[in-house]
């Protein structure tokens, strides 16, 4: 058996050091090498997925027994989204990070060697970050999962602290502390499972039947730990700062790819390994998701900074994912997974649009200082509109398919359980969706239409390395909206089995 998944995870990590050495010589052009590495790794994932409904690789590793990597109906949408976005953003990073690092060099009075060294460091950290996210969703062992969970945290911390905006040292530290504390709470739950079961392997834990009184407390710890990563209401404090001040390519990975991994872990660990505890915690989680949806949408309406608007939008969208995964019904959970993919394509496009505007207007982020940019940035405006329509959930884009599944599943689940409270929560969640349309269309109007400020008259369209990645993701969103079976044909049968639905 060819080690397809092993290569996909570890080649970017191993080759990142070669990328660093090359980058010190050629500067930003090394981004093309990062792109080739990630493109090859993405093709490996798709090749592994083509070998059947489930593809598993196992390797002996003494610390945990078996090191496993697995593609199935649940992990494939997450893995494919992570590496698709990472590959596309490697191209986008070439012009954006050259501009950002040159800006930093000018501020500090540094020369060309500084620029090349910083760009080399960026791409080294970028590759490790992408591989850490992938390893997390392919893991078949709780300890292995946690190791990758931390691997994706460390490079993302340095990417913010070294290349971010504003008070990046303080913000990156806040980001690290919040997410690391959440990870430690998660670790407490993981270690409890391992001690009680005598193994950390997913298949062994799934076959065990622990007392509900024990697993409930473990499930609460895991839920809280993962909800920090998901930026659920009350645990979201770090996200608006980190996502707003991170360099834009990293914002476009933090928001669409990384934080949603908490949703994957919730489904994988609680639904598949601790199903009785899952049924117990879902009602509280569904309420928490509803509050997160509404709070994030209201806060997004109040923002003038384009990146902070998108950051609070991500809080709201994580509320959708939480609400769906807590629906206690196969269709709702499937919709939550699909929502991760839809949010991934749509929100990555929007952060890239924000970066294009920042790049072309020499750092303008205030929406009140924009206007009429559709005439100057037509391709960027098209990408923005398609990105906004995706997260609103307008057909035929993929956001419509995911939201339809999510809400239909939540309502069907409430009826199946005979719960009036769940039905009421589902209706309230459905009624909160116009908030998304409100802040997105209001932002679109203020940024791209109306009178154009005089200082924006000299703005020109971003280079193809910026606009083509945006439009490519729009094309992906359209394909998934028209043909959702690319996601659902493996996902829904797996979820039906998990819920015992014939």
> Residue 141 — φ and ψ, nearest 5°?
-145, 135
Cβ-contact 165, 107 below 8 angstroms:
no
Q: Which structure tokens are listed for 468?
A: 């083509």
Asked whether the predicted pLDDT for residue 368 surpasses 90, the reply is yes
Mean per-residue pLDDT of the chain: 94
The pLDDT value given to residue 324: 96
CA separation for the pair 360, 271 (Å, rounded): 46
Residues 421 and 282: beta-carbon distance below 8 Å: no
* Residue 378 reports pLDDT greater than 80: yes
CA-angle at 426, arms to 424 and 431, nearest 5°: 95
- Asked if pLDDT for residue 365 goes beyond 90, the answer is yes
- Output the pLDDT for position 326: 96
| Residues across the chain | 502
DSSP letters spanning 158-205 = HHHHHH-SSSHHHHHHHHHHHHHHHHHHHHHHHHHHHHHHS--BHHHH
Q: Give residue-wise pLDDT tens across range 74-126.
A: 999 999 999 999 999 999 999 999 999 999 999 888 888 999 999 999 999 99
Question: If pLDDT is split at 50, 70 and 90, which confidence band does 493 have?
Answer: very high
**31-65 residues labelled b (16+ CB within 10 A) or e (exposed):** bebbbebbbebbebbbebbeeeeebbbeeeeeebb
Closest CA to 337 of 136, 77, 79: 77
Closest CA to 147 of 176, 189, 105, 183: 183
pLDDT of residue 188: 95
CA 153 → CA 133, 148, 234, distances in Å? 9, 9, 20
Q: Return the SS3 of 67.
A: strand
Q: Determine what percent of the chain is predicted with pLDDT higher than 90.
A: 90
Gap between the Cα atoms of 177 and 452, Å rounded: 42
Flag whether pLDDT at 1 surpasses 80.
no
Both tokens of 119, joined, read 């760009």
Q: How many CB atoms lie within 10 A of CB 131?
A: 29
Q: Could you tell me the pLDDT band of residue 154, with boundaries at 50, 70 and 90?
A: very high
pLDDT band of residue 502 (cuts 50, 70, 90) is low
pLDDT at res. 222: 95
What pLDDT, on the 0 to 100 scale, is given for residue 303?
95
> Please, what's the largest Cα pairwise distance for the chain?
68
Reference 438, options 391, 379, 369, 406; nearest CA is 391
Question: Would the pTM count as exceeding 0.85?
Answer: yes
pLDDT score recorded for residue 45: 97
Distance of alpha carbon 215 from alpha carbon 337, whole angstroms = 24
Among 204, 264, 347, 327, residue whose Cα is nearest residue 73: 264
Distance CA 367, CA 325 (A): 34
| Res. 486: pLDDT tops 80 | yes
Model pLDDT for residues 268-287, shown as the tens digit of each residue: 999 999 999 999 999 999 99
- Give the model confidence (pLDDT) of 413-462 as tens digits: 999 999 999 999 999 999 999 999 999 999 999 999 999 998 899 899 99
């Amino acid at each position: 058996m060819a080690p397809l998944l092993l290569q996909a995870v570890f080649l970017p990590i191993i080759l990142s050091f070669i990328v660093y050495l090359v980058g010190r010589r050629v500067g930003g052009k090394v981004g093309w090498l990062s792109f080739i590495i990630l493109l090859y790794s993405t093709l490996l994932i798709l090749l592994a997925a083509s070998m059947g409904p489930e593809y598993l690789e196992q390797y002996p590793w003494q610390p945990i027994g078996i090191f496993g990597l697995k593609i199935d109906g649940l992990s494939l949408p997450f893995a494919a989204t992570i590496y698709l976005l990472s590959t596309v953003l490697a191209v986008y990073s070439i012009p954006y990070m050259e501009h950002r690092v040159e800006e930093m060099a000018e501020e500090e009075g540094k020369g060309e060697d500084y620029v090349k060294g910083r760009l080399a460091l960026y791409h080294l950290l970028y590759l490790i970050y992408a591989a850490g996210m992938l390893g997390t969703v392919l893991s078949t062992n709780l300890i292995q999962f946690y190791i990758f969970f931390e691997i994706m945290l460390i490079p993302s911390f340095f990417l913010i602290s070294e290349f971010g905006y504003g008070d990046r040292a303080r913000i990156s530290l806040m980001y690290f502390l919040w997410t690391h504390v959440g990870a430690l709470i998660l670790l407490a739950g993981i270690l409890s499972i391992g001690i009680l079961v005598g193994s950390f392997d997913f298949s062994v834990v799934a076959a065990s039947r622990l007392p509900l009184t024990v697993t409930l407390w473990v499930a609460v710890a895991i839920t809280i730990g993962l909800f920090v990563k998901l930026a659920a209401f009350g645990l979201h404090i770090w996200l608006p700062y980190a996502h707003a001040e991170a360099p834009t390519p990293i914002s476009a990975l933090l928001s669409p790819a990384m934080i949603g991994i908490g949703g994957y872990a919730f489904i994988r660990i609680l639904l598949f390994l601790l199903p009785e505890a899952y049924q117990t915690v879902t009602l509280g989680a569904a309420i928490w998701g509803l509050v997160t949806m509404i709070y994030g949408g209201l806060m997004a309406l109040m923002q003038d900074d384009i990146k902070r608007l998108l950051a609070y939008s991500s809080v709201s969208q994580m509320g959708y994912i939480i609400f769906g995964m807590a629906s206690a019904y196969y269709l709702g959970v499937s919709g939550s997974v699909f929502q991760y993919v839809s949010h991934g394509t749509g929100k990555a496009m929007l952060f890239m649009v924000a970066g294009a505007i920042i790049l072309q207007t020499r750092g303008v982020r205030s929406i009140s200082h924009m206007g009429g940019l559709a005439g100057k940035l037509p391709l960027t405006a098209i990408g923005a509109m398609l990105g906004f329509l995706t997260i609103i959930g307008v057909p035929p884009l993929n956001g419509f398919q995911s939201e339809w599944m999510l809400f239909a599943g939540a309502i069907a689940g409430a009826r199946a359980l005979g719960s009036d409270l769940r039905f009421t929560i589902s209706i309230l969640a459905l009624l909160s969706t116009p908030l998304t349309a409100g802040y997105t269309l209001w932002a679109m109007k203020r940024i791209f239409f109306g009178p154009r400020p005089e200082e924006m008259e000299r703005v020109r369209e971003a280079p193809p390395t910026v606009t083509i990645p945006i439009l490519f993701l729009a094309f992906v969103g359209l394909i998934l909206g028209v043909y959702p079976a690319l996601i659902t044909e493996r996902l829904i049968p797996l979820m039906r089995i998990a819920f015992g639905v014939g």
